[in-house]
Amino acid sequence: MVTFSEYRAGEAATEGESANGGPEPAKSGCCKLAGVPAIDELFMREALELAMQAAAAGEVPVGAVAVAEGAVVGRGFNSPISLADPTAHAEILALREASRALANYRLEAVTLYATLEPCAMCAGALVAARVRRLVFGARDLRFGAVRSKFRIADSELLNHRLEIVEGVLGAECAELMKSFFSARR
Ligand code: ZN
């Protein structure tokens, strides 16, 4: 498990804390990656490049790519400040573009790649869009709603559950966040 928790200097985050309140089962981030298909790394690399564009624009560096049948159909990087839109998270922008590209409000064939664990809004949108699969890089211990704070994307309480893969290029995704926030201190 790769986590990002350093939003502010001195802010404590509890690693291993799960939405169910219990400790996470012990697992090694590197060993987990052994089974990650190269294709997942390829698209996560593209999401990372988008995250760097967000950082260059002074936005929190999160990037997302929507893929259907092996092709990128949507891209987004975190832009709430520049768009003056609190919903302009990378995942939402990628979903919007994918829906336009596929001319469908349901994205059942889509895999969404995000550099950071999606928040509650984005996880909810992924479920509403019936996205098939979510691949994310680092956990977000502060706002993450897929594993860290809530488990919205594969909840038994909802009508749609995504297949979830985490930790793909996780160290790089977390490092990008850390360096962004440490540069702002
Ligand atoms: Zn979000």
Q: What is the pLDDT along the chain (185 residues), one digit of tens a residue?
A: 778 775 443 333 434 444 444 444 444 444 445 567 899 999 999 999 999 999 999 999 999 999 999 999 999 999 999 999 999 999 999 999 999 999 999 999 999 999 999 999 999 999 999 999 999 999 999 999 999 999 999 999 999 999 999 999 999 999 999 999 998 87
Distance 30 CA to ligand 1 centre (A): 26
Instruction: Give which of 57, 49, 1, 53 is closest to 24, Cα–Cα.
Output: 1
Burial 61-91 (b: 16+ CB within 10 A, else e): bbbbbbbbeeebbbbbbbbeeeeeeeebbbb
130: Cα separation from own chain's centroid:
16
Distance 91 CA to ligand 1 centre (A): 6
* pTM score: 0.83
Residue 59 bears catalytic tag? no
Distance 3 CA to ligand 1 centre (A): 16
Query: Looking at residue 70, what DSSP letter applies?
Result: T
What per-residue confidence (pLDDT) applies to 35? 64
